[in-house]
Chain A
Amino acid sequence: MAVYVYAVTGHDHPCHLDGLTGVGSDAPAVRTLESGKLRAVVSDVAGEIRPKRRDVIAHQAVLDRLMADGTPLPLQFGYIAPDDETVRRALDERAEGYLDALAAVRGCAEYNVKAGQEEDVLLRSILDGSPRASSLNEEILAGDTDPRLPLELGQLVSAEVDLRRSDASAALIRALAPLARAYVVHPPTGEDFLNLSLLVPRDGERPFLDAHAGLSRDAGPGVRTRLAGPLPPYSFVP
């Protein structure tokens, strides 16, 4: 029977999975497969899986549970193996790599910081700070229909937006990165300008959270951050 795979852990991880149900509409029990020094956390999958929000939440819930007792290697959402045997074989074949990866994230959790800036506040501060931009804006508002005006204004604003965002990003990274063992800057999505993942030692979480809470000054007007974590180290596995 096909199995959905959530994570790889060391064999010393207690894997307290009682009561957890896995992905799929029949909510199967979550169990482990042992192989040498490693374990895979899996559940049976019958038929075709259709990705639903519930399944993403189930995936994440399993990993959250594992995080309580150690740091697993989280799998990306949506991977299944044809049967238990394939999983064991996969663990065997790359055992060393997985053990190294486990050692690299041991005692750590991922924290993800996203930052965005309120558009109106940002644009207003650009207009206020740039005489050329505000005079262009005045001309357009006064009814000048020359198409070059909005283009120049937009170009100016766009460059300024980029500049302010990269300054703000740099300030945030500078403030948080020293408190992490490693960090990765992901491409930002949507209206955010920063999407930063940090690998934070569990015993250094308090200073990290304090640092995050203290970020209220430098990052510019209207900037807000959202912190997610502690998470499984999704961004720090091979």
Chain B
Amino acid sequence: MTMMPQGAGTTVRGDGAGGATSSLYDVLELILDRGLVIDVFVRVSLVGIELVKIDARIVVASVDTYLRFAEACNRLDLEAGRKAPAQLPEVVGDMLEGGSRGKTKGALGGAVEAVKQSLTGGDDETEDAQEWEEPEDEEREEPEEREEPEEEEQPVRRRRTARRPARRERE
């Protein structure tokens, strides 16, 4: 198991309180979703942030999940060859070097990458220009030719649904 370095990407200042800096992305849902709510106070409109949150919480319908898992398994073997187990250490090695996240936009990844980019994409210096309202629609760079058109459409359709302004769901 790897411990991800703290403070990668956007950081929240610990103000010298002896605190580790945390990735803003990782504490975002705590700041937006938890904490004290005083009912006589008014919640400001958080349209942009709603979208970010919904994006991060996309749940894929089960059949879609099955098909995507199956595809991911096929792809795995195609890429790695049949001698897969022998290469496992290398795969793990790559992962430790931190290059892995962008590579695997598979069944488990997907939308969260886009959210993350909208959060950490720019430097802190340019944050004024970066509004939540514009989590840019990153191009999905995987239009591999596949026979089944319905599956091909999946990622796109999911993102559209996510984009719809939706009400907050509280747990």
A227 at interface by CB-CB < 8 Å:
yes
Residues of B99-117 at the interface with A, using a CB-CB cut-off of 8 Å, are 100, 104, 106-112, 115-116
Bound CA span A145–B23, Å: 44
Are B24 and A226 in touch, CB under 8 angstroms? no
Query: Closest residue of chain B to A202, judged by CB?
Result: B18
B156 at interface by CB-CB < 8 Å:
no
Neighbouring A residues of B84 by C-beta, 8 Å:
124, 127-128
Are A118 and B69 in touch, CB under 8 angstroms? no
Are B70 and A140 in touch, CB under 8 angstroms? yes
A43 at interface by CB-CB < 8 Å:
no
A15 at interface by CB-CB < 8 Å:
no
B34 at interface by CB-CB < 8 Å:
yes
Chain B count of residues within 8 A CB distance of the other chain: 83
A51 at interface by CB-CB < 8 Å:
yes
Neighbouring A residues of B149 by C-beta, 8 Å:
none
Are A157 and B73 in touch, CB under 8 angstroms? yes
Are B119 and A53 in touch, CB under 8 angstroms? yes
Are B19 and A51 in touch, CB under 8 angstroms? no
Neighbouring B residues of A76 by C-beta, 8 Å:
31-37, 43
Interchain CB contact (< 8 A) of A78 among B44, B63, B71: B44
CB distance from B72 to the nearest CB of A (A): 6
Neighbouring B residues of A223 by C-beta, 8 Å:
1
Map CB proximity to A onto B128-140 as digits: 1 under 8 Å, 0 otherwise: 1011110000000
Residues of B57-85 at the interface with A, using a CB-CB cut-off of 8 Å, are 57, 62-63, 65-74, 76-78, 80, 84-85
Bound CA span A77–B131, Å: 16
- Seen from chain A, the residues whose Cβ lies within 8 Å of a Cβ on chain B are 5, 7-8, 48-54, 56-57, 59-61, 64-65, 67-68, 73-82, 86-87, 89-90, 94, 101, 110, 112, 114, 116, 118-121, 123-124, 127-128, 133, 137, 140-141, 149-151, 153-155, 157-158, 161, 186-187, 189-191, 195, 197, 212-213, 215-217, 219-232, 234-235, 237-238
- Seen from chain B, the residues whose Cβ lies within 8 Å of a Cβ on chain A are 1-4, 6, 10, 12-17, 19-20, 22-24, 26-38, 40-49, 56-57, 62-63, 65-74, 76-78, 80, 84-85, 88, 91-92, 95, 100, 104, 106-112, 115-116, 119, 127-128, 130-133, 171
